[in-house]
Amino acid sequence: MAAVKHDVFQAIADPTRREVLRLLAKEELPISKITSHFSLSRTAIAKHLHILTEAELVKGRKVGREKIYQLHPEPLTEVKDWLSYYERFWNNKLSMLKFIVENDAGNDEM
């Protein structure tokens, strides 16, 4: 049985992994510094980093005895593209709300 490869959507579904991405957006970090931001074990953080690596959102490189992780945000464009389809619904709802509020405000004066 082949190992399941995680995609970008699965990777960002977990709040811990989203927080790891936020941390790595600021700077490259070794696992010890990443772990210090969480109440999770180093092993748990390593598993999260493995999933993020499979989704190609982070890359690790060896520097001496440590592995330094850095963000690779390019796969997030897949999420952006997916969300952009639904943006028209949000924009329509906001336009409708603006119309209702503006027209309702005029009716209050009567």
pLDDT band at 100 (very low <50, low <70, confident <90, very high): confident
In this predicted model, what pLDDT tens digit does every residue of 61-86 receive, in sequence order?
Answer: 999 999 999 999 999 999 999 888 88
Residue boundaries of the structural domains of the chain: 8-71, 75-110
In this predicted model, what pLDDT tens digit does every residue of 88-97 receive, in sequence order?
Answer: 777 777 677 7
Residues sharing a CB contact under 8 Å with residue 49, sequence separation 6 or more, in sequence order: 20, 31, 34, 58, 60, 69
Q: What pTM does this model have?
A: 0.76
Distance CA 48, CA 19 (A): 11
What is the CATH code of the structural domain delimited by 8-71?
1.10.10.10
